[in-house]
Structure formats: C-alpha cells, structure tokens
Amino acid sequence: MRRMKPWQLVLVLAWIPVAVIVLGRSFATARVERSAPRIEVSLSERRLTLFQGGERVKSYSIAIGKPSHPTPTGSFSVSRIVWNPGWVPPNSDWARGKQPRNPGDSSNPMQGVKIYFRDPAYFIHGTNSPASIGEAASHGCIRMRTSDAVDLARRLMEGTGAGRDEAWYSRVTSGNSSTEVRLPRAVSMVIRS
C-alpha cells in the first residue's frame, strides 16, 4: 500500500468536516421533508385531520360553508397565520351593514387565529359561534373551536420550524393587536367533498 504524503493527508482531513456538514444537511432536509405537516379536510365528515411525517396527529371537528357559500375543494397551501385577527366585512351582499371587529372583540367572528389557505377570503379560523361546529354554517371558511384552531396553528408553526415559546403564544392570543407569521415552509392542504 502506498503511503500518503503529509500534504495529501492534510487535504483529506480538511475535507472530512465539509463532507459531514453537507451529508448531515442532506439527511436533515430529508428528515424534515418526511416529517412536514399536511392537512386533509373531509367536508362530508366535517373533519380536519393533521398529519406529520405520514402519521395522523390530530383530528378536529369543523364547520364548513353553507350550500350558498360552499368551502372550495382541491389542493391548497398554507404559509400564513394571523394570531388574534381582526375582522373586516368582505365586499359581499351577506356582509352588507356589518361592522369591522377588533382583535379580541367577542363579536368578532374570527377568534384566536386565522390560517390562510386561499386568498383573498378563505381561512381556517376560530369562531365566536362554537354551536356551528359540525354544520354547514360559514361563508366558505373552515370554522373550528377557538382552542382547536389555536392548537392547529401552533402545531403548524412547530412542524415547519417556526415554533415559539409559551410566553410568545400567550402574548399573541391576547390584547388588541394582531401578529402575522409566515411559515418557513408551506403546508400542503387537500379539501375533499
């Protein structure tokens, strides 16, 4: 066997940490991709299910759009969350005469958190009408009990690398201002009939 010259050995030893870092990042990326959260919604069952790494993590009861304002079906992407959202009535006949509502206002139809899935006007959000859960009651959005919507949003943030500490969550779910979070990786979402 041929012996390495000292300068060749130095080159080999210098490249080992680089190779470990590059391979480590590749494996970490693959692990993150496999464990990325995804959402599946069944309108007929009135259920939203969160999956992480191919495993079912949690299933929530939801309210969906009325027949006159159906929740859209198809594939969507979640990349934006607003904590403690305000509400501005949309430019629609059903909202004529309604007043904007501030974050934290008990009359605000969007409570706790608003998770965008189709701009400009379709969200997953907490509700001030928990009795509507399980019904076709919204104007196209997916309503959840406020505690469930907050739980889902936290899981999405944590599953995409945007998790925060308890003090942060406590701060953004109270008071009279909203906080927007952009997820570092979009979460896939499929809505079926």
E strand or H helix at 154: helix 146-159
pLDDT single digits (tens) 94-146: 888 889 898 988 899 999 999 999 987 899 999 999 999 999 999 999 999 99
Active site residue ranges: 125, 141
Boundaries of every domain in the chain: 36-192
Superfamily of domain 36-192: L,D-transpeptidase catalytic domain-like (2.40.440.10)
Q: Which of 2-11, 31-40, 53-62, 171-180 has the lowest mean pLDDT?
A: 2-11
pLDDT of 35 over the 80 cut: no
- What does the alpha-carbon distance between residue 186 and residue 76 come to, in Å, rounded to a whole number? 10
Q: Is 25 helix (H, G, I), strand (E, B) or coil?
A: helix
pLDDT of 185 over the 60 cut: yes
pTM: 0.81
Q: Which amino acid is at 9?
A: L
Q: Which residue has the higher pLDDT, 114 or 20?
A: 114
Distances, alpha carbon 166 to alpha carbons 2, 137, 163, 170, 172, in Å: 60, 33, 10, 6, 10
Please give the structure tokens belonging to residue 71: 């929740």
